[in-house]
Amino acid sequence: MTMLKPKVQSFTPKFPVDRIKDTVLSGMQAFFGKLNSRFHWDSDEKETGVMIVDKYALNLESVDRVPIIATSRGPITKLSRTLDDIKSINMSTGDKQRMDLLQCPLNIGCYSKEGLDSERLASIVFGLFLMFREQFRRNDLWDVINPVLGEEQIVKADSEIEYSITPVTMTVLISESWITQPLAALLENILDPFDKSVR
């Protein structure tokens, strides 16, 4: 009896949640890292003038020392733009390249002990996503839709600590692409091409 020998390939996917947050956080860190002001970002927490983090790494006690920019996302939803999500078809092989757009609401909170600093930071973040859309597009964000600079709010963490937060909200789009093959071609690729006896 001849055994089939499937091809095994390593596959390390980068999930949409990682792609969105990695692009947004790294983009803001790169921008604030070049900013020549007291809001200059540095990877060394002792040297940085602002912390740029995911919301799960947010530590409000740090607001006493430096302002914080924290990113959180909403639900990711499918946004179909093409018939059956088909981008192109290879007529010789029957392979179909499919593409879909995923949309995700994004909330970037700018926290500070001083309300004016919170609003200034939010203004910089707002301007960043207005002026550098093309750079974000080249780095995995398909588009940035309807950025909004929100109103400053005063929040009490406990009975003694007060801080200000100014939100910047927007919707971002990312694209997902994949290729589907006809069943015969798919089976052909699964079988070991050197095992002629199973053909």
Q: How far is CA 130 from CA 61, 88, 124, 141, 159, in A?
A: 31, 32, 10, 13, 38
Stretch 181-192: mean pLDDT: 56
Q: For domain 16-193, give the fold.
A: Alpha-Beta Plaits (3.30.70)
Task: Tell me the pLDDT tens digit for each residue of 26-57.
Answer: 999 999 999 888 999 999 988 999 999 988 87
- pTM over 0.75? The answer is no
- The listed range with the strongest mean pLDDT (38-52, 91-105, 155-169, 180-194) is 38-52
Task: Tell me the pLDDT tens digit for each residue of 69-87.
Answer: 999 999 988 876 555 665 5
Share of the chain above pLDDT 90, in %: 34
Task: Tell me the pLDDT tens digit for each residue of 129-165.
Answer: 989 888 888 777 778 889 999 999 988 766 566 889 9
Element of type H or E holding 108: strand 96-112
Task: Work out the end-to-end distance of the chain between its first and last CA atoms, rounded to an integer number of angstroms.
Answer: 13
